């Protein structure tokens, strides 16, 4: 009941995140099995691609219920990129799709598209500046550079859920935290030493919890 599970929802390249975890002495397993995810000690939930496709894939693979169980049992869960966006209920990306699949809806708020006039996707190295001192950003409080690649961003309803922000023509939420739930818009597995530090910090959060 103490395993760290990287959720394989079929959309993300999991190799780099798996290797990055090993680099900071975490021993994750990759699984798409709802039973294994539901019993995980902690979960990393990566994702790339389209919100609607990914949300539907989670339902089809019966991973939605497993992830909700992890969230409800207050076990640490880290969403990465689309994985973070899927912690919210819906995305503007699904705007014109009828019967668009919903996200997990465990953090209130919406996923929005960058305003017109800004080049999208937002790709490259940008700073994530934590709003408060938090264990996830230990050693990264000065606003380290992380690697981003995305066209949508999360807009939490409650300011307190926004853990870090990034400037791209305006200030958007680039990391969230609500209880045991964490999310980062950037890719820690592609963000050099800062990204590895963040994963190590998540490992410490897991260890403290267990």
Partner 1 sequence: MLAKRIIPCLDVRDGRVVKGTRFVNIRDAGDPVERASFYNREGADEIVFLDITASVEGRRAIVDVVRQTAEVVFIPLTVGGGIDSPSFMQELLQSGADKVSLNTAALKNPSLIREGAEQFGSQCIVTAVDARRIDRSAEADSPGWEVYSHGGRQATGRDLLEWVKEAESMGAGEILLTSMDADGTLGGYDIEMLAAVTGAVEIPVIASGGAGSLEHMYEALTSGNAHAVLAASVLHYGTYSIAEIKDYLSSKGLPVRPVEK
- Active-site residue list: 81, 187, 189
57 closest CA partner among 11, 110, 96 = 11
Out of 191, 201, 203, 206, the residue judged to bind partner 1 by CB under 8 A: 191
Q: DSSP for 159-173? A: GGGEEEEEESSSEEE
Q: Which residues in 161-180 contact partner 1 (CB under 8 A)?
A: 167-168
115 binds partner 1 (CB under 8 A): no
Q: Torsion angle of alpha carbons 104, 101, 109, 20, nearest 10°?
A: 50
Two tokens, residue 41: 């000690």
> Which residue from 49, 56, 89, 134 is in contact with partner 1, where contact means CB under 8 A?
49
- The residue (of 113 and 147) whose beta carbon lies closer to partner 1 is 147
CB atoms inside a 10 Å sphere around CB 112 = 16
Near partner 1 by CB under 8 A: residue from 2, 19, 72, 160: 19
- 145 part of the interface to partner 1, by CB under 8 A: yes
Q: Which of residues 55-114 bind partner 1 (CB under 8 A)?
A: none
193 to 77, 137, 163: CA distances (angstroms): 21, 13, 20
Q: Can residue 143 be called a binding residue for partner 1 (CB under 8 A)?
A: no
Residue 122 binds partner 1 (CB under 8 A):
yes
Q: Which residues, 6+ apart, have CB-to-CB distance to 105 below 8 Å? A: 88, 89
Q: Rule CB under 8 A: is residue 11 a binding residue for partner 1?
A: no
What are the residues binding partner 1 (CB under 8 A)?
Answer: 13, 15-16, 19-20, 23, 48-49, 119, 121-127, 144-145, 147, 149, 167-168, 189-196
């Amino acid at each position: 009941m103490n395993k760290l599970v990287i959720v394989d929802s079929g959309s993300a390249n999991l190799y780099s995140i798996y290797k990055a975890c090993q680099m900071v002495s975490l021993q994750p397993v990759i699984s798409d099995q709802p039973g294994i995810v539901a019993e995980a000690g902690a979960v990393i939930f990566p994702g790339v691609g389209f919100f609607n496709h990914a949300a539907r894939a989670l339902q089809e693979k019966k991973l939605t219920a497993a992830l909700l169980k992890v969230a409800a049992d207050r076990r640490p869960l880290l969403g990465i990129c689309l994985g973070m966006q899927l912690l919210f209920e819906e995305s503007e990306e699904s705007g014109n799709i009828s019967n668009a699949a919903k996200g997990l809806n465990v953090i209130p708020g919406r996923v929005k598209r960058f305003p017109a006039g800004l080049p999208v996707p937002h790709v490259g190295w940008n700073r994530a500046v934590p709003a408060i001192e938090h264990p996830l950003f230990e050693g990264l409080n000065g606003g380290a550079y992380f690697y981003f690649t995305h066209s949508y961003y999360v807009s939490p309803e409650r300011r307190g859920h926004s853990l870090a922000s990034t400037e791209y023509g305006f200030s958007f939420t680039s990391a969230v935290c609500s209880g045991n739930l964490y999310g980062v818009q950037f890719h820690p597995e592609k963000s050099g030493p800062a990204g590895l530090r963040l994963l190590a910090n998540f490992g410490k959060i897991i260890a403290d919890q267990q």
